[in-house]
Structure 1
């Protein structure tokens, strides 16, 4: 599956320093950046952080075309945010907000583009092991994240296909013509995913009290 189908990009094999960096260091960097944007009030500082993320992207040798795809994806939404915030808070704050969002997007993409999905899931399992004391199953949590990573590109692709089909029929302004097929496809995908998990013994157990659900998960 190509990287363009993932919101943050699929793993790109490489030998850059970011590819070799420990997962914990990369994850901590993304976390700190995300938290740090709450305290960045200067548009200059926000733009500087975004520029730093772009330089890191270039240092990982991930390609200018991939970066442009990454930045252009949310551009319509962020343009609307920029206009609204410009009107509400002024140009400096508007630029700061949009730059912060873009910086977080690029930082998160650096994590997913330079780390194989199995390594990401192994990291989730390791990080979640202390949560076993409060009843969290690390393996099940990693499974949820894996399913989410597979589901997001499928749903985005479904939405794009339905939008193109509606436009071809002249129904691009009809919400029902766009929403109903996506809803039906999403439910069908969820059903197929559930059936696949059950076939592998990963679904809820069947019990006499409830033939379709394990009471322990209720």
Structure 2
């Protein structure tokens, strides 16, 4: 495994703003890709990127979304367009994994600073940008944490029951996520996380 993540040090040293910009460009490119073969190749490239940057944990973020992905594919298949459904699933897989890679390689404080700088022109016009920057950064940061919480709940269930958990995990998952969000909001408020940063 140590030989795989050759690019991890270099990826961590990249400026947070550049990583967020590359994530935005990659997201736009994924939505412009047509055809299952190019999308499958994009997913393979994202998985390779996760491997060489030591961010394979980002792939685990897909587990909580498997139900959504399967339902999305099923809905499109029932409507007679399974190819479009598969394309949607491939885009979701690539985008969520890319966001997880950026989150794993970028400290939250660096992401906030980069977003503050990027939105500074709006701030000069009187638009409050700090809440937007916090929301974007926290979304990227919480994705792997929520995936880990789902995995832990699944492991806990399997130690107590031979049945598959499925929907039974939704209630404790949602309650735990809301509790985490409340604690994070209180911590950010106490530390001035929503105070506008002056350019």
TM-score grouping bracket, smaller chain normalisation? 0.5 to 0.7
Quote the residue 2:4 is aligned against: none
The C-alpha deviation readout for 1:25-81, integer Å capped at 9, x for no partner, is: 322221122222332220111111111111111110224xx2442232311210111
Match of 1:75 in 2: 66
1:53 to 33, 46, 52: 46
**Unaligned residue ranges in structure 2 (runs of 5+):** 1-6, 166-170
SS in 2 for 1:32: helix
**Alignment partner of 2:76 out of 82, 85, 90:** 85
Q: TM-score, normalised by structure 1?
A: 0.61
C-alpha deviations, 1:174-217, integer Å up to 9, x for none?
A: xxxx59x949x949974x7776667667889xxxxxxxxxxxxx
Equivalent residue number for residue 99 of structure 1: 90
Largest Rg, 1 or 2: 1
Question: Shift of residue 148 of structure 1?
Answer: 6.0
Structure number having the greater helix percentage: 2
**Residues in 2 aligned to 1:131 and 1:45: alpha-carbon distance in whole angstroms:** 36
Contact 1:50 1:99 in 2 (8 A): yes
Please report the TM-score for the alignment, with normalisation by the length of structure 2. Answer: 0.66
Q: 1:38 aligns with which of 31, 48, 51?
A: 31
Alignment RMSD (CA, Å):
4.1
Structure 1 residues without counterparts, runs of 5 or longer: 1-13, 173-177, 205-218
Q: Secondary structure at the match of 2:34?
A: coil
Moved over 3 A (4+): 137-154, 185-190, 192-204
